[in-house]
Structure 1
Amino acid sequence: MKPKLFTTLLFFVLLQGIAIAQAPSLPFKDVKQTEIEKAGAIEIRLDPGSAITDEPISSIVETVTYLPLQTTPASLFGEISQLEATDKYYIIWDEISNSIVFFDKKGEYVTKITNTDKTVETPYKKIDHFAVNESKNELIFNDRYSMLMYYYTLDGKFIKSIQKPSYIGNSYSSFKNYNAYYQSYNHENLANLKIPANNLLLVDDSGKAKTYLPYDTIAIKSQYGLYGIDRNFFNNQNGVIYFLNNYDYNIYTIDSFGRVTVKYRFVMPAVNTFPDDFMTNKNYDDKRKAYTDADNRVIYTLTDFFQRENVLVFRFWGHGRNQLSVFNLQTQSLVSLTEMSADKMTFDLPFISKPLVSVDRNNQFIFANSAASLFAAKTKLLQKNKNWLASLPEALSTFFKSNSQQNPVLTFIKFKQQ
């Protein structure tokens, strides 16, 4: 009798486990479909093909400052995959070394987050971007190859790891009392929670959720028929987060109350945009990639969007275009930044060899230059002018006394407002 009783009980426990697995409890106290505020949106009309190019950088720039990042065996890293500027630090994710490196405002090395930290019980496997919540003193990142998310202080000290939410989506951010998750047209994430298809999910600390940007799952059956971008949320933007939705020419803001607003609406020539019904007509399903593949003039989204005062910096994103552009709200001028030429303001050095990475509190945009690109320029400039090194500020002069095997150099640019 005992073996039979044990078998019966085991079967019952397994059956209960299966039932629990099939009917997970909802993680939210409340879910509310919320409208986006569109009143007051600023319309920006521009033609990507008419951007100003091949002008001296001094024609649009007020100041340029180079900041070499200290290079030591501990601080050496491969590339700037993401940078966030806080009051104390420049925090850099390097995808190559799978680490997050902290430098102070003088460019001196402070500390590093690595997966060899013996104080962390379960080391992370692969960092997938990170989010900074300054009001909570938290740095958060998703482990791409596990079911965990990791929390550190903004000084790089480990706090905890938690089970990542099933609705994490393709991109995420943390701001004040809200966590934001971009679903990237993956409606299966929310369908398991019995929530209609939406692209943006905001969850506050009490567990209340708001959903935004609903779409028709008949017209868009799968995210795999669409292209995406690496990041959709951009921090440190005048007290708000800027949010970009794939296949959308609007720029959204998210404030500390969880309100989502259309801040800017980009209007471009028809040759650069997809049809008005492109994301609602089911006849385009499984054909959207082919549509943009066939015409490299088509821009299917914007990315790397940052603002300081009257100046917007962003990238058009399409197969034929990923140019880094500057738009001045005051003058209504559009400049292709990557096609501007160096001059005396930059000591004739390259001022950008990497895409835009961040902004700071001093209304400066932060770019990056590889050490290799700067040393290559040094060789050419010395051939033209043997006294060129004497014109450099101390930080650059010291930098060039070493070799090209150094960390990248940050470039801080303040653009003219008029």
Structure 2
Amino acid sequence: MKIVNINILLFFSLSIFFSSCGKAERSNSNNKFSNLEKSKILSQDLLNLDSDTLKSSYQMEIKVPDNNDNEVLMSEVIDSVWYLKLGEIPNDIISDWISEIEIHDERIYLMDGQKNEVYIFDFSGDFLFSKNVSGQGPGEFIRASSFAIDSYNNQLVIHDDRLSKVLYYTLDGEFIKEQRVYYRFLDFAYLNSSMSAVDLNKSDNNHLEEIRNNQLAIVDTTWKVIAKGGSYNATNEQDFYFTGKVFSKKGEEVFYLRPFSNIVYSFQQNKLTPYCYIDFGNQTLPHDTNFNFKMASDFAEEYSNYSYIVGNAYFLSDVTYFEHYYGGGRTAHLFRSNTTGKLFHGKINNDIYSLGFFQASTAIPEKNVLVSYTSSEQVYANRKMILESGTGGEALIDMVSNTESTDNPVLIFYKLKTDF
């Protein structure tokens, strides 16, 4: 009997939950997207990005060792850790689930995945402003599904999947305009001042035959689809909805990883170019992997002898980092020096007595920093153990001593070593 890790079941359960939410809207799709003018939604000359991804040369190739159960000491790869308590918000508090974090121009933008609202803090943790659920009228939204920072036009852009529109704000929160969209998607990232990459993933777009079997699109400023990629069989696979964050950035360069694949692409001249090949050897998922599952445990058991990635790697200035699943749902981490090519790979051993290595939420590439978060409840629950152990550093002890269970979450910054 194979044992399936409870953490991956939780991730799968959440993903299936959101998929179910999406299915609940499918019965209304015809009404939601009625009277479509395809000429305004899809380019007449719709490019197929998949035709440009057949190159065999990569800027980076990573052969993942088989020693998934090896231990990686945090002290081997992490130079320092510090913490940032998110400050008080008037008459509000952020939930334990931060679904997205972006750091731009010394500000922290994050989305509460439970409340579906966006909060902005400065780099001291002080609250600046928020964009809250407000309604269904012009300039209002009922569910922040995703957001992005348009650094080219200095705008905060929020997507509401329920109302099928995107809302534009200045970086100080002043409303500018909104734009209707006629397809569903999960996330997006700006490629330049006039184009964005859109993670369609396995969203229900059966009303648009041209893109219903695609997980990726490039759109213009009116959200017209001008290119598509990441083909899959929506009829058989749409029910299996498990993904991480597929976009990552390094400066102005945007990277894309299709979930369960092992090739990372960069967008060059608005086309996909193979960038990094991640080789799992005999543990690489087969090309004919079956995604026609309804239960996460069934997939984990069927492919328990394989390794796979569901979210993008982080390409920092001096280090490349990613995590992958193996053995039916266990997690392994890999750190690669971009200078020497040396790898650290396996399970994380928290030997520096930080709050632990949690799943990275974002990064500051130029500073070789990964950013995660933890809830104030978890910090408070471990307060006595941490304070009495006498092993925590000054920053950890100070933060734990001043955190109550009713505070907002705490961000954790991991500065990686660059000389391993």
Q: TM-score, normalised by structure 2?
A: 0.77
* Deviation of the 1:75 alpha carbon: 5.9
Distance, in Å, in 2 between the alignment partners of 1:293 and 1:226 is 15
Counterpart CA distance in 1 for 2:291 and 2:82 is 48
Paired residues of 1:173 and 1:233 also in contact (CA < 8 A): yes
Give 2:121's aligned residue: 103
Contact kept? 1:37, 1:260, Cα under 8 Å: no
The amino acid of 1:160's aligned partner reads: K
Q: Is the 8 A contact 2:138 2:178 kept in 1?
A: no
Which moves more between the two structures, 285-294 or 138-147? 285-294
Q: Is the Cα–Cα contact under 8 Å of residues 45 and 268 in structure 1 kept in the other structure?
A: yes
Residue 12 of structure 1 corresponds to which residue in structure 2? none
Spell out the pairing of 1:146-185 with structure 2 (5 A cutoff): 146-166=163-183, 168-176=184-192, 177-184=194-201
1:250 equivalent in structure 2: 263
Does the CA contact (< 8 Å) of 2:78 and 2:416 recur in 1? yes
1:175 Cα shift?
2.8
Taking the aligned partners of 1:105 and 1:33, their CA distance within structure 2 comes to: 41
Structural mapping, 1:187-266, within 5 Å: 189=206, 191-192=208-209, 194=210, 197-205=213-221, 209-214=226-231, 217=233, 221-224=235-238, 226-234=240-248, 236-255=249-268, 257-266=269-278
Aligned-partner residue type, residue 400 of structure 1: S
Cα distance 1:369–1:326, how it changes in 2: closer, same or farther (>3 A)?
farther
1:294-339 per-residue CA deviation (whole Å, 9 max, x = no partner) reads 23333343315212123222221465134454333434323346x3
- Give 2:343's match in structure 1, choosing from 333, 339, 355: 333
Q: Secondary structure at the match of 1:50?
A: coil
1:365 aligns with one of 355, 364, 370: 370
Q: 1:323 to 1:112 in 2, by over 3 A?
A: farther
Which amino acid in 1 is paired with 2:145? Answer: D
Shift in alpha-carbon separation, 1:273–1:404, aligned structure 2, 3 A:
same
Partner Cα distance (2:76, 2:199) in 1: 38
Q: Is the 8 A contact 1:349 1:377 kept in 2?
A: no
Provide the residue aligned with 1:297 in structure 2.
305
Aligned AA (1:313): Y
Selected match of 1:125 from 139, 142, 162? 142
Q: Give the SS at the match of 1:381.
A: helix
CA distance in 1, matches of 2:103, 2:304: 34
Q: How has the CA–CA distance of structure 1 residues 374 and 40 changed in structure 2, closer, same or farther, with 3 Å as cutoff? A: same
Once the two structures are superposed, residues 100-157 of structure 1 have per-residue CA deviations (whole angstroms, 9 ceiling, x without a partner) of 1111111111111102489x74531111121222112122232132232222222222
Q: How many Å apart are 1:29 and its aligned residue?
A: 5.2
Which of 323, 331, 338 is the matching residue for 1:315? 323
Of 128, 139, 149, the match for 2:156: 139
Query: What's the C-alpha RMSD, in Å, of the aligned pairs?
Result: 3.3
Inter-CA distance 81–328: structure 2 relative to 1 (3 Å threshold): same
Seen in structure 2, the aligned counterparts of structure 1 residues 110 and 45 have a Cα distance that, compared at 3 Å, is same
Aligned to 1:376: 381
Look up the SS of the partner of 1:374 in the other structure: helix
Aligned to 2:19: none
Q: C-alpha separation between the residues in 2 aligned to 1:76 and 1:21?
A: 41
C-alpha change, 1:269 and 1:153, in structure 2 (3 Å) is: same
Partner Cα separation in structure 1 for residue 244 and residue 219 of structure 2 = 22
Q: Deviations over 1:341-364 (max 9, x none)?
A: 142xxxx33144x42111124221
CA distance in 1, matches of 2:240, 2:134: 37
Q: Compute the displacement of 1:230 (Å).
A: 4.2
Alignment map for 1:9-158 (pairs within 5 Å): 21=35, 24-27=38-41, 28=43, 30-34=45-49, 35-36=52-53, 38-41=55-58, 42-47=60-65, 49-50=67-68, 52-53=70-71, 55=73, 57-74=74-91, 76-79=93-96, 80-116=98-134, 121=138, 123-158=140-175
- Secondary structure of the 1:173 match is strand
Q: CA deviation at 1:188?
A: 5.2
Evaluate the alpha carbon distance shift between residue 222 and residue 326 of structure 1 in structure 2; reply closer, same or farther with a 3 A threshold. same
Letter paired with 2:45? D
**Which SS does the other structure have where 1:81 is aligned?**
strand
1:160 Cα offset (Å): 2.0
* Paired residue secondary structure (1:373): helix
The secondary structure found in structure 1 opposite 2:35 is: helix
Q: CA 1:139–1:39 in 2, change beyond 3 Å: closer, same or farther?
A: farther
Distance in 1 between residues matched to 2:107 and 2:155, nearest whole Å: 13
Q: Does structure 1 retain, via aligned residues, the 8 Å contact 2:170–2:176? A: yes
Structure 1's unaligned 5+ residue stretches are 1-19, 279-283
Secondary structure of 1:379 counterpart? helix
Matched-pair contact (CA < 8 Å) for 2:77–2:416: yes
User: What residue identity is the alignment partner of 1:76?
Assistant: I
Match of residue 408 from structure 1: 409
SS at match of 1:222: helix
